[in-house]
Each structure stands twice: as structure tokens, then as C-alpha cells.
Structure 1
Amino acid sequence: MKTNWKGLVLVGLISSASTLAGFKLLGTNSGNDVIIKEAPAESLARFTSTGMPAGAPGDFVYAAEATTPTVVHIKSKVVAQSRGGGRQSQMEDALRDFFGGGFGEDFGGRSQPQEASGSGVIISPDGYIVTNNHVVEGAQELEVTLHNKGKFSAKVIGTDPSTDIAVIKIESKNLPAIVLGNSDAVKVGEWVVAVGNPFNLESTVTAGIISAKGRGLGIIGSQSNRRGGATNAAMTAGDTPLESFIQTDAVVNPGNSGGALVNLKGELIGINTAIASPTGSFAGYAFAVPTSIVKKVSSDIIKFGNVQRGYLGIYLDDLDSKKAEEYGVKVNDGVYVREFTENSAGKAGGALKGDVIVKVDGIDIHSVPELQQSIGMHKPGDKVNLTVNRDGKEKELTVTLRNRTGGSDVLKKDESAAVMATLGAQFGNLSDQEKQRLTRYKVDGGVKVVSIQGGKFARSQVEEGFIITKVNGKAVRSVKELESAIAGKEESMVQFEGLYPDAPYDVFSFGFRL
């Protein structure tokens, strides 16, 4: 029986000493080098502390001792502001006169700070930390607490909502950094340890096994934009969601987001990201972004300022025996090629509609998440070898991947687009009818929030249909004016004002740091 994930509460926002290793120098735009430790191939035997066989249950001491100093506690402060307008403000004035001047502090007159808690993992001695995007999105302030109780303010270096990964940095040196392991090599049934700060309980260690790999749950981004797992569909709030989670039964709870999932060597194999639960607390299912994705995304963010992802430009579908019969293909294991995007790399490389992709660079592919992960590890211009089953026979194709615009160049960070993407919403111009309705309430136009896909708007509890009328006190009447109003405002406070069409007299104001 197929699990109905939508019937569960998929909690994406679960935030509320090292081994011998190789060293990788990562050049940055500023000319500095970032040192990231990567693990060598090494037996588990020397990492067990009790003389028990490698991988034996109950022997997690080495992994815990090696990992705990590298995991930090992140507290993010979000300030949501609201104020009444029209009839609502008149009522508040009357109540304030009756109850006293403190009334407005609780009922929308002033800022209402909120604090969220999560975890992060130090990946370099000079202060780069990997965490989840949802841990830091919408935050005006970030405070990082180290294992030794040192506290630092942190700066967001970059985020990738499509993988729910973010990189932040604190100004410190000689920090204990985790060793990046090979998540592709881990096996189902292997023992793992999760380290994080659930419920503000710092440096909490739990253990379990890997239950599954390559899970795609549809919890990153908007389902309406995925088109059946399209590998190249663009999203306003970021790139196509890339989900290929490691599933584990190690206990993970709110506050574990962004924390470490490690093997018995203490090597990072994943960043804990989500739980599936009917209650919002751990119910046996936890999911982590594998290190292969984390390493690619964090390296690109540090080096380029954004993620350099290669695309096939193919709309895909998972296969089973029923779909294989429906599509008329000879195999029921692999990924079906449904259609191509404009300037598709796959089509240019010889793929045809109706092909079934069964291997990438010689590695078997069984699902869309596995294919997305394999392709997502490459940058534009890279060549990949696809094995497709066409009319019952396998055929080898060499495909040169392209960027999301259809070219092969490394994309520079678009500051304007990046700022817009942090809002996590799609916007639209008002229709003539909507404008005419607003003029009756002495509102001269605005910009409509068409959809919410995460980001700062979601954290500010903005709902679809909200109409933005002002940005930093200046009226906006079109999407173009909205983009101009926030252009160049990165790392700055921005204040939005607007209303909902069904309550035009109630004016709301909220702000955050972009």
C-alpha cells in the first residue's frame, strides 16, 4: 500500500575531535581559501570504542564525541509588525483610551518579536556553517552558540530554497569543523547518529539506522510548480525542488533542523531537515539532505554566491508496471521522459519522448529523486552519460548540461532576483476590476501576492491574496515597481504595508531584513 504523505503532518520546519581527512581548498570570490575536510575511505574498526564489531548497536561514543563540538545552536529573531487602519484603528484608539497606553503593545501597534531555534554544522575552521534555509529565512538577527558556550552574531552568506540548504558565517578562527563523508556510500540498515538542539536542549545525541535513501516527499517548494517532477521547471522563489532525502529512525524533533546526521566515524552524511508526523513531534520518520547535495550547494554558495546547477531540460515521471503499460514502454524501472523544455539539453543530446532513463554515468536510476540528485551534482557545461531504454533496447547518450536559461555558462548571482527570491512568493499586477474596487476605499493600486512558497513572507504569516500597497512608505502599483522598491536592499530592513481585499479597512504592516 502506497503511503499517503499528505495525510501526515510533514514538518519541514523542525527548527523552533575529527577523523583523519583530506583537505579541499575552495577559492572564493574574495580571493580567500576555505578549507573543507573530506573523509578518506577507511574501515569502521578503529572508530569503535568498546572492542565491539564495527557497526554494532550501542557503540556510538566516538561518533558523538567527534560530532558534538562541530554542531551549533542557532537562534533567529523575526519581527512581525501589524497595525490596524480605518475602522480597526478607531476601535483600538477607543480601547486604548479605556485600558491605557499599553493596549497597543499586544494588539498590533508595535513590533512583536518571535524567536525560532535550530541547529547548524561547522564545515570550516574559519566560521562557515551549514544549516537549513528554513532555519534562517526571514531572520533579522542570527545568534550562534558554540558547543563551548561561545556566542556569535552570524551573517547569511547564501541560501538555496530548492534544497533547503543555507550557509551562514561567524567571525572566528580555529573552530572544530566536521568531516564531510560520502552519503552515496551509506547503506540501508547502517547505524547513524543525529546531533542537534531539539526543544532548545543543546548538544543532544540520538541514534538509529538508515531506513531508506532517495526519498522524494514533495515538501520543498510548491507542488503546483513541479509538473510531475520536472527537472527544469523554474520557480519564482528559487530553482526546481531537489529532494533525495536519507530516511532514518534516529529521533529528530523541532530544533534539530540543520543539525548533523553522521556515520559511526563521525563523518557528516546528511543535514537533518524534516520529520513526518501526525502530531508535529517525532513519530518514527526523519529525513536528511544527503552530504553529496550539501557539499555541492554549500561550495557553490561560498564560491559563486549562488548554486551552479546543470539541467537536462526534461519533464519526467516515475515508472511502475501500471504506468509502463500506460506509456507503452518495455521496462517498469527507471524514469520516463514525458516532454522537453525549450533549449533542452536532453533533447539536444539525443533523448526522445518515450525514452526511459535507466542509468546516469553507469549508476542505476530507479526514481525521479535519484535522477535529480545525479544531475544536480553537476554544473552547466558538464557532460553526463545517460543510458536510456528505447523500444526495449538500451542506448548510450552523451548530454552536455545547460543552465536554467538554456546556456552553458556559470551564472552570476543576480542580486535583484536573489532579493526577490528571499520573499518566497509569486506576485501579480491587479486587474482593472480589482483596481476599481480598491479606489472605493481610497487605495490607489497595489501588487497582489499570488502564491506563497516559503521564504520571508511565509515566516511573516502573509497569506495568498494579500495586496501590497507600500514598500518603505512608498506606493507600489505594479510588480515592476515592487522589484524597483526592494532592489539594492539586501541586508537592509524593508517595511511592507497592505491589505486583504475582503477587509480593505484593515491595514497591515510587517517588516524584516532582506
Structure 2
Amino acid sequence: MMNKLKSAVVWLAGITLLTQVAVAALPFPWLGDDNQMPTLAPMLDQSKPAVVNIATRSEVRIQDNPLLNDPFFRRFFNLPEQQQPRTRQAQSLGSGVIVNAKEGLVLTNNHVIQRADEITVSLHDGRSFQAEVVGSDPATDVAVIRIPPENLTALPLADSDSLRVGDFVVAIGNPFGLGQTVTSGIVSALGRSGLGLEGYENFIQTDASINPGNSGGALVNLRGELVGINTAIFSPGQTGNIGIGFAIPSNLVKQITDQLLEHGEVRRAYLGVQMQDITPELAQAFGIEKNRGGAVVTNVIPGSAAEKAGLKVGDVVTAVDGVSLVNADNLRNTIGLLMVGQTIQLEIIRDGKAQTLTAEVTEAQRSAATQTGEVHPKLAGATFGDIEPSSPAYGKVEGIMLYSVQRGSPSWNAGLRSYDIVTSVNRQPVNNLEQFKQMVTNQPELLLNIVRENQAMFLLLR
């Protein structure tokens, strides 16, 4: 069932909300006694100038068959030596939201600008600016870009924790590149996770008619405050919109944005446990209800917040701060969205008895990372390291993580991007950072097998 659910979630460059709303009976504050028709226009007149269109341009390397890069194969078939790698120009469209007019800060989705060499932001009044990337977080799909702060309008942020199912919301974006478009709907559900869409998920669900081009656009309440950043839709069999859309809550967006502005990256909370899902068999073995959700602790990292809190192997974590857990991914997701230093209450079952433990989550310790430019010139500008326990890929993918890559560097020009996972070098599996450094040293060319956004691909660096 979960595989079907994940396969039905469709990545789009866009989002909008469209549901026919019976607004006639709503107590809108701008309605008078003159029998005027109810309208959202006054609120939208204030909100629309803060929503922008984003166009990106990037140079994408055309991937040849790996056999064509094998010297023996080329000699055997008398193929000419390859010239410079072939490339093509790629363009995409999305949306964004101005949240700080004085500093020119624009929020959007990471997948809108992730591989862009050039980002153009077009305003509601027809002006266009070139944008620079301030920072991005692929794990939550949030990105912050900056444009010149010239007579801009910003959207105020609402408290998304105060949202309720049934609240009316409005989406503003740029579907199919048509230009700014407004649609409306309601909040259908809150706290959606486990969709396999992001590394860390806590979505607002809306009955949205969402289309390509709206990713990064604004989901606002009837006061014109930003409650979420629109991101994706649920579409079984990719049949198109069926009225299930997802947005990143404004409180989570603000938390990520603050960290990107202060640190240039997101510092994630870390509990320090390894876990697995509770199965009916394990539930019986640990003396809990068969249908009880949660995660069983299989390992406690020495010196971690979990050890200090008193967690032990075999404990079953059933809730965090009173919110019940479904499975191990739910626990990892919950911890990863916390602030470093936050104190939490863990409800556990130990030896069949319920207990409550208090833990103060710490910052995830990054494994030793290295700038690889000195090891191989084609890797200049990239920082690699072992996959961290806090990463969604930990324990699922064998390889090493590319934690950062400088724009315009040899690594960037070769097609490498932040959070790529290298699984092999010249067809040899990679297990850790030290092995990787040895494998790339003194190699005239590198054929890297990488995993990016759950898809595998080859990159040739020569």
C-alpha cells in the first residue's frame, strides 16, 4: 500500500488551489450592507504583488552510454575519441514568495532552483531581476533566494500551528507559465507525512487543483498571511489533479529560513538511536498491543541524547510530546524537524510497562568531511563525507554524501550537486570517505555512479 502511495505522489514545478467555495454565506470583514457580492479581491490586491514568477536556466550534460567511455570498447569497435561532453540547455518555471522586502528575500522550493545556473525573478508589476541563492535545504524542499530590494512587497507569515481543518485558503502562483493565477480551497488535513516526497515531511493538505509552475507559490489565509509554500500533488497513475495537494507549513519554512540565513545550512536535531518498525510479531514479543504504532530501539549511540535520557535497546517509543507515532520513519521525521537543544517527552514501553523519558536533542554531528580538490582536480569545490545517521539515506544507500558544491567550480560544471550520493567510482563500489579518496587519486577520469532524489545516474569527469 505504501509503495502505491509513494508512486502516486507526483513532483511538479507547481501548485495552485482550486475548489469551488461557497463564499456567499461567509462573514467577510469587507462586506457591507449594500448587497455587494462577496469577493476575495481586496485581500488579493495586497497579496499578489508579493508572489513572483521564477524562471531558471541550466546547462545539463547529456549522459552517454557508459560503455562508450570504456577505452577497450572504443578500440574494439574502432570508435573515434570523444570530444568535450555534450550538453543541452534546460529551462523550468516555478513560483516564489517575497517575505522580506527590505532584504529582497524570496522563498521557493529547492527543486525549483536546485540545478539552476541562472535564476530570473519576475514581479507582478512586470519588473525582472537576476537572483542569487542564499541557501537551500533539499530534505524539506525549502530554498531562499535574494533579489535587489527595490520597492518590493512582502507577505506576512501566519502561525501555521493555528490552522484547522476546514479553514479557507487561497493559492497564488504561475501555472504552466500562464502568469499569476489565483485559486481557492480549504485545509483538508494537517501533519501529513510518510509520503516519500521529502526527507522530512509535515505537510498541509489542501483540496487544491495544482498544476506545473506553481511550486514555491503562496498558500495564504483570508487575511492575506502566508500559511504555506505549495509543493506537490497526489495523483494516482499520474492522471492529473484529483484535489489533493500539499504545502510546507509556514512555521517550518520560517525555522528552515532562519537557519539558512544564520548558518548557511540547516542544523538538524539528533536523538542518537537506530530503530525499526513494530510488527505484529515484535509487538507480541515486547508485550504491547498488536496494532500499536511506534518504533523499537535497536541501538543507542554512546554519548547521545538518547543515552543521556535513559533510552535502552528494546524500548518501544510510542509518542513524542504527546503525539503518537506510526513507525520508525515517523520518529526520525519528528526528531529531524525539531530545533537543536529542544527538550522533548518520549513515551515508551519497557518490559510491558509505560514510562515517560525527557530528552534534550542535540545537533547531528557531521562525519569527517573533506574538500576533494587536492585529491582530484575535477572534484574541486566539492565537500564529501560519510552519510550521517540523521540523513534519510542512512542505512538505505551505501556510499558517500556530497554535502556542498560551489557554483561555477569544476565539480559544479561536471554536474555534481549538493546531497548527491556517490555509490561507485569507475564501477567499483564505495563504502566510506577514506576509500573514496584512495579510489579517485591519480585517476585520469572518473565515472561516478550517483543517487539523486531517489534516481541513479552516471557522471563522467574527464
TM-score normalised over the length of structure 1: 0.64
Distance, in Å, in 2 between the alignment partners of 1:293 and 1:370 is: 16
User: What is the deviation of 1:348?
Assistant: 2.6
- CA shift, 1:218, in A, is 4.0
> How far apart, in 2, do the equivalents of 1:88 and 1:201 lie?
50
The letter of the residue matching 2:94 is G
Q: Which moved more, 1:134-143 or 1:79-88?
A: 79-88
Residue 151 to residue 385, structure 1, CA distance change in 2 (3 Å): same
Q: Which residue number in structure 2 is paired with residue 152 of structure 1?
A: 129
Contact 1:163–1:220 (8 Å) recurs in 2: no
C-alpha distance in 2, partners of 1:353/1:63?
54
SS at match of 2:418: helix
Match of 2:204 among 228, 231, 246: 246
Shift of 1:387: 2.9
- Distance of 2:227 and 2:331 partners within structure 1: 19
Gaps of 5+ in 2: 16-25, 69-73, 368-380, 384-402, 406-415, 431-441
Partner Cα distance (2:284, 2:43) in 1: 47
Q: State the one-letter code of the partner of 1:426.
A: V
1:273-312 counterparts in 2 under 5 A?
Answer: 273-277=231-235, 278-279=237-238, 281-312=240-271
2:424 pairs, out of 428, 434, 437, with 428
Q: Which residue of 1 aligns with 2:227?
A: 269
Assess, with a 3 A threshold, how the Cα gap between structure 1 residues 190 and 81 changes in structure 2: closer, same or farther.
same
1:261/1:3 CA distance change after superposition, 3 Å:
farther
Are 1:403 and 2:363 matched, yes or no?
yes
Counterparts of 1:153-232 in structure 2, within 5 Å, are 153-220=130-197
Q: Distance in 2 between matches of 1:243 and 1:357?
A: 19
Q: Go from structure 1 to structure 2 and tell me whether the alpha carbon gap of 1:46 and 1:356 turns closer, same or farther (over 3 Å shift).
A: farther
Q: Which SS does the other structure have where 1:388 is aligned?
A: strand
| Deviation readout 1:46-74 (Å, 9 max, x if unpaired) | 8643369xxxxx75445533432211100
Instruction: Give, in angstroms, the shift of residue 401 of structure 1.
Output: 1.1
Say if 1:80 and 1:114, in contact at 8 Å, map to a contact too. Answer: yes
Amino acid at match of 1:113: Q
Query: How many angstroms does 1:140 deviate by?
Result: 0.5
Structure 1 Cα separation of the partners of residues 41 and 326 of structure 2:
36
Residue 114 of structure 2 is matched in structure 1 by 137
2:64 matches 1:80? no
How many residues align structurally?
382
SS of match in other structure, 1:253: coil
1:194–1:322 distance in 2 versus 1, CA, 3 Å: farther
1:383 alignment partner in structure 2: 343
Identity %: 35
> Which residue pairs with 2:90 in the alignment?
114
Give the superposition deviation at 1:289. Answer: 1.3
Q: Which segment drifts farther, 176-185 or 342-351?
A: 342-351
CA RMSD, aligned part only?
Answer: 3.9
Distance 1:279 1:170, change over 3 A: same
Q: 1:110 to 1:316 in 2, by over 3 A?
A: closer
**1:380-425 CA distance string (max 9 Å, x none):** 3333232334455442322121222189xxxxxx973311652623
Paired amino acid for 1:114: A
In 2, Cα distance between the equivalents of 1:134 and 1:83? 21
Q: 1:66 to 1:251 in 2, by over 3 A?
A: farther
Partners of 2:183 and 2:239 in 1: how far apart?
18
Give the counterpart of 1:64 among 35, 44, 49: 44
**Amino acid of the structure 2 residue aligned with 1:246:** I
Query: Relative to structure 1, is the Cα distance of residues 199 and 405 closer, same or farther in structure 2, using a 3 angstrom cutoff?
Result: same
CA contact (8 A) 2:63 2:459 kept: no
Q: Specify every segment of 5 or more residues in structure 1 that has no aligned partner in the other structure, as ranges.
A: 17-44, 53-57, 94-107, 222-240, 408-413, 435-442, 471-514
Match of 1:180, SS? coil
Deviations 1:301-338 (A, max 9, x none): 01110112111123455669787457542484553233
Q: Cα distance 1:220–1:79, how it changes in 2: closer, same or farther (>3 A)? A: same
8 Å contact from structure 1 (residues 214, 370) kept in 2? no
**TM superposition shift of 1:172:** 1.4
Cα distance change of structure 1 residues 61 and 319 upon mapping to structure 2, 3 Å threshold: farther
Instruction: Report the CA distance shift for 1:154/1:187 in structure 2 as closer, same or farther (over 3 A).
Output: same
One-letter identity of the residue aligned with 1:309? R
In the TM superposition, residue 242 of structure 1 has moved relative to its aligned partner by 0.5
Distance 1:352 1:152, change over 3 A: same
TM-score (norm 2): 0.71
Partner residue, 2:30? 49
CA contact (8 A) 2:425 2:449 kept: no
Deviation track 1:414-446 (CA, whole Å, cap 9, x = no partner) reads: 973311652623243336799xxxxxxxx9664
C-alpha spacing 1:403/1:72, structure 2 compared with 1 (3 Å):
same
Pick closer, same or farther for the CA change 1:263–1:341 going to 2, 3 Å: farther
Contact kept, 8 Å, 1:337 with 1:352, in 2: the verdict is no
Relative contact order (alpha carbons < 8 A, sep ≥ 6): 1 or 2 greater?
1
Is 1:468 aligned to 2:449, yes or no? Answer: no
Equivalent pair of 1:48/1:62 in contact (CA under 8 Å): no
The alignment partner of 2:129 has SS state of strand
Residues of 1 paired with 2:63 and 2:277: CA distance?
48
| Range that drifts further, 372-381 or 295-304 | 372-381
**Amino acid paired to 2:92:** A
Structure 2 vs 1, CA of residues 88 and 150 (structure 1 numbering), >3 Å: closer, same or farther? farther
**CA 1:110–1:373 in structure 2 vs 1: closer, same or farther (change >3 Å)?**
closer
Report matched runs for 1:451-466 at 5 Å: 451-454=450-453, 463-464=456-457, 466=458
Which residue identity is paired with 1:418?
S
Partner SS state of residue 260, structure 2: helix
The Cα shift of 1:179 comes to: 1.4
Name the aligned partner's letter for residue 231 of structure 2.
T
After superposition, give the CA deviation of every residue in 1:213-253 in whole Å (9 maximum; x if it has no partner): 222244346xxxxxxxxxxxxxxxxxxx1112111112111
C-alpha separation between the residues in 2 aligned to 1:66 and 1:324? 54
Aligned to 1:398, the other structure's residue is in SS state: strand
Q: 1:280 to 1:128 in 2, by over 3 A?
A: farther
Deviation for aligned residue 1:118: 0.4
